[in-house]
């Protein structure tokens, strides 16, 4: 599959089979991520691949983060919701937490480090698609919570920037739509 076809045909797809994804296929997805551009060649991405019962630690952290915002009474009342949080990582046979561990070099801007990791995530999504996998990228406040840094051993500057759920697709996705590029583009040709 050529790059433009992959870009145009890739869709977030969360409906996946329980079938295990071979490690060598996951490694190809990870390798694609490492080919993203990074300013000053810092390569700030860190990947945490969770399969099998390894996904349960993530579920526990997600439930603990959700529980923090609840009173003890609400925790009892909303136990079903907390159980649902625990089960989220079990939706796909592979979950990859993608984090940024910014360089401490003074010349390196943290925002650029995050940008490099976002580019890495896009590479991974395109690679998964080209390899016949379904993938979807989830973010949210739980990703940026200190408990995630704890879980993955990140520094205080580090951040989980997304969770990529990967598996073999159950169904094909509909063709995507975007606004015409002319609506979002301004050409500047003169001073």
What are residue 97's DSSP bridge partners?
48, 163
129 labeled part of a ligand binding site: no
46 labeled part of a ligand binding site: no
Closest by CA position to 164, among listed 82, 87, 89, 56: 89
Closest by CA position to 126, among listed 174, 80, 164, 180: 164
138 labeled part of a ligand binding site: yes
- Binding-site residue ranges: 10-12, 39, 137-139
- Binding-site residue ranges for FMN: 10-12, 39, 137-139
């Amino acid at each position: 599959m050529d790059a433009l076809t992959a870009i145009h045909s890739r869709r977030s797809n969360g409906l996946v089979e329980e079938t295990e994804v071979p490690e060598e296929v996951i490694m190809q997805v990870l390798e694609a991520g490492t080919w993203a551009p990074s300013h000053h060649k810092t390569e700030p991405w860190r990947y945490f691949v969770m399969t099998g019962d390894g996904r349960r630690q993530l579920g526990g952290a997600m439930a603990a983060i959700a529980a923090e915002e609840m009173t003890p009474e609400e925790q009892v009342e909303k136990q079903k919701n907390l159980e649902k949080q625990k089960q989220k990582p079990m939706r796909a046979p592979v979950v990859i937490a993608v984090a940024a561990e910014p360089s401490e070099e003074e010349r390196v801007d943290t925002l650029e480090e995050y940008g490099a990791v976002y580019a890495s995530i896009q590479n991974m999504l395109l690679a998964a698609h080209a390899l016949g996998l379904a993938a979807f990228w989830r973010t949210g406040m739980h990703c940026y919570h200190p408990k995630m840094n704890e879980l993955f051993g990140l520094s205080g500057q580090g951040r989980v920037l997304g969770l990529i759920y990967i598996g073999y697709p159950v169904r094909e996705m509909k063709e995507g739509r975007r606004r015409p590029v002319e609506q979002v583009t301004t050409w500047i040709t003169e001073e």
